[in-house]
Structure 1
Amino acid sequence: MSFGATRPLARAFAPRVGRLPALSRPLCRNITTTPPAPINPSSAAHDGGNVEAPHNGINVDTPVRMDTAPTPAPGDDFPIVMVGAGNIMFGSQAGPWNHSFRIEHKLGPRLKVKALIDPDAARARGVLAKKCASFVETAYKDTQVYPNIGEYAKALATSGESGPRAIIVGTPPAFRGGVAEGRHLELDLIKYFPTVGYFIEKPVSTAPIDEVKQVAAELVKNKNVVSVGYMLRYLRCVQKMKQIIHDNNLTVMATNARYSAAYQSIDKPAWWDKSKDMGPVIEQGTHFCDLSRYFGGDVDISSVVAHSVEYDEAPGKLSAIPINESEIPEDQRIPRITAAVWKYANGAVGSFTHTVALQGTLYDCELEVWADGYHMRLIDPYNAPQLLVRRPGDDHNERHQFTDDDPFFSEMSAFIDSVEGKPDSHILSSFEDATKTYELTWAIRLASEKSAAARRATSKS
């Protein structure tokens, strides 16, 4: 999900209780069920990825929300540079994203923002004025505004001051992740600040996948700390799923992700235009494609098959689009439904469905993971995450819910700890791994467009 485009909305989770119809009960006479099993906390396995050893993760039994975090320890100043003065960096009323807020609570008085990079100088100075009028004035009172990272590097070279320890990148993906002019931000960072840690938002780019892989290779070669903002990996419910898999030595058999957007509330014209925001699977579905990979592992990209419901098909007629879609070229209008399946490298199966169908404001998102004897369901991870787990020997679902969770803070805290070289600091999404998620979302889009083109060709003939 690209946070400048849509509005995740808080809601309380209503338990979904399934009841057998009266007529079907006689069919169940010979089925016995066990009483609910006691729920014991699983050990902290720290399993942070599908390719890392099981010591890279967070402890789900330890609160990591900002108001439960310890007071920032005193120490040397921690200078950072922020790239982008928009909502992802400084927050808005539309959602919980606000990197500056989390960094302030992580570092406390150690934080010193040396520069804010944004071509819109007026917007940058506006957000700095608000910060300087608050309790974090000392972090921002000396912040300088620059239009690009090159101008900042030039000013730093002439001033003789020390550079940042970390750079936080919150620009739109169209301006990063590639090698062509105008979108090679990471290559500039390597050029000017090769030893600095980078935190980069997702999706990693809108550039062709070959360019993004080149950037990933350069970052791996450079060996500095890099974290990509797939914050759902840091959810305690997600880490609980990882722990259950690790504790029981399970092999994932299948994943099924579903992302249902409330399209009536998406009034950003670019979101409806594939030539700008690349379509909803790449722009929005990226989080759930990433979670799918987090559990299933690497995807056999050649196996991806997808179908879509397009705007000009009968099921694709929408009644509450908030923008004038007629202004968008027909070949760039987004699909209403995208359904994809694929094989993982280990033989497991993955599936993903993205829908542009709900009205109102509430989204509906779930992820299911199956293993031998196990079925895990992650429900509503954006707003009120819950995990339902069915285990062998028990027909009931056990429920896990963490009310003191803030994955945005967890990912930023892990990044800063990694930059400082602290023990047990684990980044759960590298740029190289995030590039694989980007490749999967593009494969889904291209596969759905291929099948749509084939249908249209058949219809014309």
Structure 2
Amino acid sequence: MEKTRLGFIGAGGIAMRHLGVLRQFEDVALAAFADTDFGRAEAVAAEHGGKAYADHRALLDNEELDAVYICVPPFAHGEAERDVIARKLPFFVEKPIALDLATGEDIAAKVKEAGLITGVGYHWRYLDTVEEARNLLADNPAQLFSGYWLDQTPPPTWWWKKDMSGGQVVEQTTHIIDLTRFLFGDVTEVTGLASHKARPDFPDLDVPTASTASLRFANGTIGNLASTCLLRWGHRVGLHLFADGLAIELSDREIMVDTGHGRPVRGAHGDPVWHEDRDFIDAVRGGENRIRCSYEEALKTHRVALAIAQSAETGKPVSLTATKEA
């Protein structure tokens, strides 16, 4: 069997999550790894095979690849994607796709021009519980929702800085934003609020420590998102939604469907990351393209996250109707 040769740009925690899946695929060869921390690239190469590089361009110049995974922090997006596109290679990139809108739009345009296969790591789309919720809403659309990312502050210090992570809404709550888009469709307007509390144990943290947003969708659905990094534990990450005679609570582990006869809960089955990686590899290998989130689709989610951040800064609602089909 001819194997699909993969290169990895970025060898941190999220890369390891994908590698744990991809190493199970008999039709995949893990060929090369690049990281600005060369020691980390060497360690990953030693564990999974392949060659280590300190620079992604050296990796791209020296390896014969079929596709690339880009698993870098928010502030590092841009150069890697453009260099991969210049070599006409399909790529899978982790969210958020950029810090700003201009970078995302530029890359999306280049992807479209090159006609490349892309995937983005909004893995909630692959949960069987989300598929169940989608089916339940097909003939009974949600009218109201509340989304949550109520959690602790992640340890990487880049996450603490707005000019490196984009803040919690852009870096974390984006998963819930994407979930609402997957379930409800296009967002037409957002209004955001944010606050900041200084904490001695997180020096120089300048991202909002609490934020909320109201969203309106083209189909009439309305709702809100709440985010905080003030906790010392993971309290709640998920989405509650309400339709006619129907209440659903979703997390990345379970679903609760309430129709007025109790609150039955069932756990999610399967690994959504396995499914998103499998779909990407199958598409790269020439099979049916079942990828649920392309770069173009992820850009629409990123646009909403940035609009929420903009509204929180300016104190004014942001309309997305002019750009939702861009």
TM-score, reference length from structure 2: 0.89
Report the structure number with the largest CA radius of gyration: 1
Partner residue in 2 for 1:271: 159
SS of alignment partner, residue 187 of structure 1:
helix
**1:348 is aligned with what amino acid?**
T
1:262–1:239 Cα change, 3 Å: same
Aligned alpha-carbon RMSD (Å): 2.2
How high is the sequence identity, in percent, across the aligned residues? 25
1:322–1:222 Cα change, 3 Å: same
1:151 aligns with 2:58: yes
1:272–1:154 Cα change, 3 Å: closer
Q: Which residue, 287, 300, 313 being the options, matches 1:449? A: 313
Distance 2:136 2:91 in 1: 31
Q: Which residue, 95, 109, 124 being the options, matches 1:217? A: 109
Structure 2 gaps, min length 5? 317-326
| 8 Å contact kept, 1:149–1:189 | no
SS of alignment partner, residue 262 of structure 2:
coil
Partner residue in 2 for 1:168: 69
Partner residue in 1 for 2:285: 420
Pick which of 145-154 and 272-281 moved more: 145-154
Post-superposition shift, 1:398?
Answer: 3.5
Partner residue in 2 for 1:231: 123
| 8 Å contact kept, 1:255–1:296 | no
1:308 aligns with 2:181: no
Offset from partner CA, 1:140-169 (integer Å, 9 cap, x none): 2xx23333343234335xxxxxx3222111
Distance 2:125 2:283 in 1: 17
Partner residue in 2 for 1:396: 262
1:101 aligns with 2:101: no
Distance 2:157 2:7 in 1: 30
Distance 1:77 1:284 in 2: 34
1:228–1:310 Cα change, 3 Å: same
Offset from partner CA, 1:189-246 (integer Å, 9 cap, x none): 1111x1x32111110011x212311211221232221110011111111111112223
**1:254 is aligned with what amino acid?**
L
Distance 1:113 1:366 in 2: 33
Partner residue in 1 for 2:322: none
Q: Which residue, 126, 130, 135 being the options, matches 2:47? A: 130
1:253 aligns with 2:143: yes
Distance 1:122 1:290 in 2: 34
SS of alignment partner, residue 23 of structure 2:
helix
Distance 2:130 2:256 in 1: 11
| 8 Å contact kept, 2:74–2:164 | no
Highest RCO, 1 vs 2 (Cα 8 Å, sep ≥ 6) = 1
Q: Which residue, 296, 300, 305 being the options, matches 1:436? A: 300
Aligned length: 316
Post-superposition shift, 1:262?
Answer: 2.3
Post-superposition shift, 1:113?
Answer: 2.4
| 8 Å contact kept, 2:45–2:51 | no
| 8 Å contact kept, 1:260–1:355 | yes
1:267–1:166 Cα change, 3 Å: closer
1:185 aligns with 2:80: yes
SS of alignment partner, residue 85 of structure 1:
coil
**2:284 is aligned with what amino acid?**
V
**2:201 is aligned with what amino acid?**
P
Distance 1:337 1:441 in 2: 15
1:285 aligns with 2:149: no
| 8 Å contact kept, 1:296–1:350 | no
| 8 Å contact kept, 2:4–2:285 | no
Partner residue in 1 for 2:275: 410
**2:291 is aligned with what amino acid?**
I
**1:304 is aligned with what amino acid?**
V
Structure 1 gaps, min length 5? 1-74, 91-97, 132-139, 157-162, 177-182, 312-316, 453-461
Offset from partner CA, 1:289-338 (integer Å, 9 cap, x none): 111111121111xx311222332xxxxx65xx632x2xx2xxx7222221
Offset from partner CA, 1:23-77 (integer Å, 9 cap, x none): xxxxxxxxxxxxxxxxxxxxxxxxxxxxxxxxxxxxxxxxxxxxxxxxxxxx222
Partner residue in 2 for 1:72: none
Distance 2:159 2:71 in 1: 18
Offset from partner CA, 1:361-420 (integer Å, 9 cap, x none): 3331220122233221113x2xxx2211123xx443343323x42111111111112222
1:322 aligns with 2:217: no
**1:451 is aligned with what amino acid?**
G
| 8 Å contact kept, 1:201–1:229 | yes
Higher strand share: 2
Q: Show structure 1 runs of 4+ deviating over 6 A.
A: none
SS of alignment partner, residue 315 of structure 2:
helix
Offset from partner CA, 1:80-133 (integer Å, 9 cap, x none): 11111222212xxxxxxx11110011x23x4322322223323211222233xx
Partner residue in 1 for 2:4: 78
| 8 Å contact kept, 1:267–1:322 | no
Distance 1:219 1:351 in 2: 32
SS of alignment partner, residue 350 of structure 1:
strand
| 8 Å contact kept, 1:308–1:337 | yes
1:127–1:152 Cα change, 3 Å: closer
| 8 Å contact kept, 2:150–2:229 | yes
Post-superposition shift, 1:431?
Answer: 0.8
| 8 Å contact kept, 1:254–1:296 | no
**2:187 is aligned with what amino acid?**
V
1:144–1:269 Cα change, 3 Å: closer
SS of alignment partner, residue 146 of structure 2:
strand
TM-score, reference length from structure 1: 0.64
